[in-house]
Amino acid sequence: MNRENIVKVSGDSIDCPSCKTQIKLLLNRSVGAAYAKGWKTLPTNHISFLQMWMDSDFVNHWTTKHDLYHKLYSQLSELGGFGKRVPFNGRVSELVSAGTDFGTALVEKSQQTKSSPHNTVKGPFYRLNIPRVKKVLQHGGHLTKEVILD
C-alpha cells in the first residue's frame, strides 16, 4: 500500500494525504434509525412489541438493548424481526426515531444514567416515553400529529 493514500482520522477531522490540509468530517448525529422518522403508522409487530414492554415489570426503568432482549426473549419469537438479536437491535433503533417528524420519541435513549446518586453508568440505555406510547397504542399505531393532539 502506498503511504500517500493513507488518510489519518483525528477525532472529527482528517488530514488530506496530498496537501496536508485538515478537513472537518460531517458525523451522523441522528438518534435511532433515521428512515423511521417519517413513519406515519407503526408496523404491527412494533405495536405488539411496545405493548409487551408496556406490560413488563421494568416499564418505568432505563434498560440496555441486551437486557431488554433477554427479559422479553420468551415472547419475541412470535414477532417477526424481533426474535433474533441483530434484527432486534434494529427494531429498537427504529422505535427510537419512529414518527419523530410528528411528535416526541416513543423510546427515549440516553448515553448514561445514574445507578445511585453518586454513580453514573455509561449506556446507551432505553426507556419508554409512556404518555406517547399509550396515545399511539390507543390509536392503532398511528404516529401523526393529528392523533397526538386529539
* β pairing state of 8-10 and 13-15: antiparallel
Is residue 92 very low, low, confident or very high in pLDDT (cuts 50, 70, 90)?
A: very high
pLDDT tens for 9-28 read 766 777 777 777 877 765 55
Amino acid at 52: M
How far apart, in whole angstroms, are the C-alpha atoms of residue 90 and residue 92?
5
Please tell me whether the peptide bond between 17 and the residue prior to it is cis, using omega within 30 degrees of 0: no
> All domains of the chain, ordered by start, with CATH?
29-149 (1.10.10)
Say how far residue 8 (Cα) sits from the centre of its chain: 30
pLDDT tens for 28-43 read 555 678 889 999 999 9
pLDDT of residue 148: 45
Mean pLDDT in residue range 43-68:
94
pTM of the model: 0.73
